Amino acid sequence: MSDIGDWFKNIPFITRYWFAGSIAVPLIGKLGLISPMYLVLWPEAFFHKFQIWRPISATFYFPVGPGTGFLYLVNLYFLYQYSTRLETGAFDGRPADYMFMLLFNWICIVVSFLSCTHYTLLMIPLIMSVLYVWAQLNRDMIVSFWFGTRFKACYLPWVILGFNYIIGGSIVNELIGNLVGHLYFFLMFKYPMDLGGRSFLSTPQFLYQMLPNRRGGVSGFGVPPSRRPVPQEQPGGGGGRHNWGQGFRLGDD
């Protein structure tokens, strides 16, 4: 248990609470402490019954059962891996900037689903938006997937979209996540830097007050990493490292 506690404490701050909430809220629904119907995003209840907590609870809740358990665990793994990589990579030492990215993506996803007339969940779209941003910031990295398939990281979100669909996901959830991630990446990096346009996104000052920058972070935030060629992993390398975006194959121990 001490090993699990140490591992949990070593998860970056924001990812740690997001990860913990994505375990606690489904568990609450599974145990029946709160009816799952109060945890999903239902636009009619949100607008007409003023159940304003639903966009938040729907971000953490996922109906775990025999038919959805594997999909849930896979996406929980994506959450841990790619949120950790962003928080300790491009956003290292700048928790306010990372929180702003999550909030921007979350708001866009909520707005996208509030026009629906049925129950929706926001966990997978938000995870996919984070994964998309990581993939674009590391687009030239060679990653491996099942059966030794190798491709550039920029294609990873679309491969996972198909993978999630095969194991029981919804193309709509993954697609919206990818599109929202693309919107953030385009407005924050592509348009102002590569195309010379104005910057539309900036982290609000109150987030810096809540989550001040730490020393040792990446300087010059907002500048995408240089396109350094990344050496491809050797076949059979990386065994034992749960790290899909850097050569991990799903199913390795």
Q: What's the CATH code of the domain at 14?
A: 1.20.1540.10
Task: Judge whether residue 200 has pLDDT over 80.
Answer: yes
pLDDT averaged over every residue in the chain: 83
Range of lowest pLDDT (102-111, 120-129, 176-185, 217-226): 217-226
CA atoms within 13 A on the CB side of 176: 22
Q: What confidence category does residue 151 fall into, taking pLDDT thresholds of 50, 70 and 90?
A: confident
How far lies 232's CA from each of 91, 153, 236, in Å? 24, 12, 12
Q: Side-chain half-sphere of 58: how many Cα atoms within 13 Å? A: 26
Q: pLDDT band at residue 1, thresholds of 50, 70 and 90?
A: low
**207-227, pLDDT tens digit by residue?**
999 999 986 544 334 444 444
Examine residue 171 and state whether it is found in any structural domain, yes or no.
Answer: yes
pLDDT at residue 232 in the model = 45
| Residue 181 within any structural domain of the chain | yes
Q: How many domains does the chain fold into?
A: 1
For residue 220, being part of any structural domain is answered with no
Give the distance, in angstroms, between the CA of residue 209 and the centroid of all CA atoms in the same chain. 24
For CA atoms 112, 28, 73, 232, give the dihedral sign.
positive
Q: What's the mean pLDDT in 152-168?
A: 88
Picking from 52, 34, 31, the residue whose alpha carbon sits closest to that of residue 42 is 52
On the question of pLDDT at 245 being above 90, the answer is: no
In this structure, what DSSP letter does residue 95 have? H
Q: Which range among 147-156, 220-229, 239-248 shows the weakest confidence by mean pLDDT?
A: 239-248
Query: What's the pLDDT band for 168 if we cut at 50, 70, 90?
Result: confident
| Contact (Cβ atoms closer than 8 angstroms) between residue 116 and residue 43 | yes
Spatial separation of the C-alpha atoms in residues 73 and 206, rounded to whole Å: 34
> Does some domain include residue 251?
no
Helix, strand, coil distribution of the chain in percent, nearest 5: 60, 5, 40
Decide if 253 is inside a domain: no
Indicate whether 236 belongs to any domain. Answer: no
- In a domain, residue 226? The reply is no
How is residue 23 written in tokens? 């375990």
**Does 230 reside within a domain?**
no
173 alpha-carbon distance from chain centroid = 12
| Confidence (pTM) | 0.82
Range of the structural domain that residue 25 is part of? 3-210
Instruction: Kindly state the percentage of the chain with pLDDT values over 90.
Output: 54
Which residue type is seen at 234? Answer: Q
